[in-house]
Amino acid sequence: MKREFVEDESLAILAKKVADEKKLTFLQHARIKFILVAPYISRAVHGKCISAGDELKYFGNFDYLIEFSHDIWQEISDEVKYILMYHELLHVLPKENKSGMTFSIADHDVKDFGVILGEYGVKWFHDFKDQISARFDMSPEEKDKISL
């Protein structure tokens, strides 16, 4: 499967909205690029935050790359897009030390981020997994492997 990568300004606009509304002030230290991967990242992964290595920082001028599966992104509701963006932005982990800023990936508190579970519960993710598994005609075992 040949994948295509497309920068989409609407992702950056949504990210700014989420960051402002959720007061994610730590994001001000990070340069983030957003892309849609067509047709999808993988059957089991539909959102991903990547910490850029030195080469990507040099050539791409960013610290993080946040990807979403294009085909799935087109099918989900605006509410789920908002939660997925929130989830991926919570992976951004800039830290200041003596030599400047370092950038790594924050791991989940539990299977997701506690703040998301507290605000949205787990139903949104179960519904998302149902939609993905139906689209790809997944077995229950494959459905259990869907992650963000």
Strand partners, 48: 67
In the chain, what are the domain boundaries? 4-144
Residue recorded with tokens 């897009």: 81
pLDDT tens digits along 65-87? 999 999 999 999 999 999 999 99
Count of other CB atoms within 10 angstroms of residue 2: 5
Question: Is domain 4-144 classified as CATH 3.40.50.1100?
Answer: no
pLDDT score, position 86: 96
Q: Which of 50, 49, 42 is nearest to 72 (CA)?
A: 42
pTM (2 d.p.): 0.90
**Residue at token pair 């849609």:** 36
Residue-wise pLDDT for 79-131, tens only, equals 999 999 999 999 999 888 887 778 888 887 766 778 888 889 888 888 889 99
List, for residues 37-58, the tens digit of each pLDDT value. Answer: 999 999 999 999 999 888 877 7
